[in-house]
């Protein structure tokens, strides 16, 4: 027993308390300590934090970033023919949203604007007044780059989709259409404002500036359809269809496509002939007038 006590005292001085708790000294019948088996991994270095991070799959470290949304549109027709009996037409524009977020879509937080902008021209607004009892043009204001038509369709009311600054920047409302006055007439600021409101009012009255709230509808999770009504006096020329995609009130994507509106039929052929071959058109008109005059004289002459 004296030998066992000496060994235990020596171990308690050399080993820390934790290591002494794990080591077990056994004595045999002869009082000699038995061999202690070391752990199998005692010679291997301890695993580090870098080794643990390397063992984690890449997908678990960070989720892959989501792709941004994209919007595409296609018109039901690329050309609209204007004939003598044209009274207006409904235009359908189809579109698709790529990389859509299903959660945001289920919450109804995706909104779309579709705008059909007509050709731009310079317009002069004139004000009439009495001068010595006669109605005459007394003042005028020139506007540069005015869209001849501007049709706006959206999923909801514009003010419910985004803020007023974005609506004004993108001209997503009839009152937000940019009308740029030129300063050649030297009108006062009040007169310019009056001319601008009058021009906008005349365009609305002629149904050339219109809004169609709820004119855009999602027909599936990523497909939508927009309806626009083109009036009978729609201007001729190249029109541009714009599409804007909003996510929770923020513009995330936009695109555009073209539409041609032109005359067709006999009227268009006569118009083209008069423009291209003006001399022959004039001679043919004079010859036709002489023939009609002679024919009338023959038919209605008195015996």
pLDDT tens-digit series, residues 63-79? 455 789 999 999 988 89
Q: Are residues 275 and 174 in the same domain?
A: no
Q: Are residues 177 and 246 in the same domain?
A: yes
Mean pLDDT of the 233-250 span = 95
Q: Are residues 125 and 32 in the same domain?
A: no
What was the pLDDT predicted at 184? 63
Does the pLDDT value for residue 98 go beyond 80? yes
Q: Which domain holds residue 280?
A: 268-300
Does the pLDDT value for residue 3 go beyond 70? no
Mean pLDDT of the 202-213 span = 95
Q: Are residues 172 and 124 in the same domain?
A: yes
Q: Are residues 74 and 109 in the same domain?
A: yes
- Which of 18, 33, 61 is where one domain is finished? 61
Strands (E), 118-222: 120-131, 134-147, 150-154, 180-181, 209-213, 216-218
What was the pLDDT predicted at 297? 85
Looking at per-residue pLDDT, the higher value among 80 and 62 belongs to 80
Q: Can you tell me the distance from the alpha carbon of 229 to that of 216, in angstroms, rounded to the nearest whole number? A: 13
Strands (E), the chain: 70-75, 79-82, 89-98, 110-117, 120-131, 134-147, 150-154, 180-181, 209-213, 216-218, 223-230, 237-247, 250-263
The distance from CA 99 to its chain's CA centroid, rounded to whole angstroms, is 15
Q: Can you tell me the distance from the alpha carbon of 167 to that of 162, in angstroms, rounded to the nearest whole number? A: 7
Q: With bands split at pLDDT 50, 70 and 90, how would you rate the model's confidence at 248?
A: very high
Q: Are residues 156 and 225 in the same domain?
A: yes
Does the pLDDT value for residue 250 go beyond 90? yes
Q: Are residues 234 and 273 in the same domain?
A: no
Q: Are residues 130 and 53 in the same domain?
A: no
Over residues 143-175, the pLDDT tens digits come to 999 999 999 999 999 999 999 999 999 999 999
pTM score of the predicted model: 0.69
Residues 6+ apart with CB under 8 A from 288: none
CATH number (domain holding residue 120): 2.60.40.1930
Q: Which two tokens stand for residue 272?
A: 């083209």
The count of domains in the chain is 3
Q: Are residues 83 and 26 in the same domain?
A: no
What was the pLDDT predicted at 30? 42
Q: Which two tokens stand for residue 240?
A: 């541009």
Mean pLDDT of the 201-215 span = 94
Whether residue 196 contacts residue 80, with contact meaning beta carbons closer than 8 Å, is answered with: no
What was the pLDDT predicted at 134? 85
What was the pLDDT predicted at 22? 45
What was the pLDDT predicted at 113? 97
């Amino acid at each position: 027993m004296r030998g066992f006590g000496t060994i235990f005292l020596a171990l308690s001085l050399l080993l820390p308390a934790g290591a002494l708790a794990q080591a077990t000294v056994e004595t045999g019948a002869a009082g000699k300590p038995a061999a202690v088996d070391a752990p199998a991994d005692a010679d291997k270095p301890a695993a580090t934090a870098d080794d643990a991070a390397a063992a984690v799959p890449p997908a678990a470290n960070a989720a892959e970033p989501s792709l941004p949304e994209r919007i595409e549109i296609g018109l039901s027709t690329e050309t609209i023919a204007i004939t003598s009996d044209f009274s207006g037409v409904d235009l359908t524009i189809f579109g698709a949203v790529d990389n859509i977020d299903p959660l945001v879509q289920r919450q109804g937080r995706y909104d779309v604007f579709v705008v059909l902008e007509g050709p731009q021209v310079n317009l002069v607004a004139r004000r009439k007044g009495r001068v010595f009892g006669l109605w005459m043009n007394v003042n005028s204001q020139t506007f540069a780059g005015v869209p001849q038509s501007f049709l706006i369709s959206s999923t909801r009311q514009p003010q419910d989709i985004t803020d007023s600054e974005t609506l004004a920047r993108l001209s997503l409302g009839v009152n937000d259409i940019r009308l740029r006055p030129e300063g050649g007439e030297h009108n006062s600021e009040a007169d310019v404002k009056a001319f601008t409101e009058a021009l906008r009012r005349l365009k609305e009255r002629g149904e050339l500036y219109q809004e169609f709230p709820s004119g855009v509808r999602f027909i599936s999770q990523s497909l939508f359809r927009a309806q626009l009504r083109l009036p009978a006096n729609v201007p001729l020329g190249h029109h541009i269809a714009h599409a804007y995609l909003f996510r929770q009130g923020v513009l995330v994507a936009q695109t555009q496509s073209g539409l041609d509106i032109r005359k067709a039929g006999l009227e268009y052929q006569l118009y083209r002939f008069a423009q291209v071959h003006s001399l022959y058109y004039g001679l043919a008109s004079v010859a036709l007038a002489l023939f009609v005059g002679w024919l009338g004289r023959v038919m209605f002459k008195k015996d």
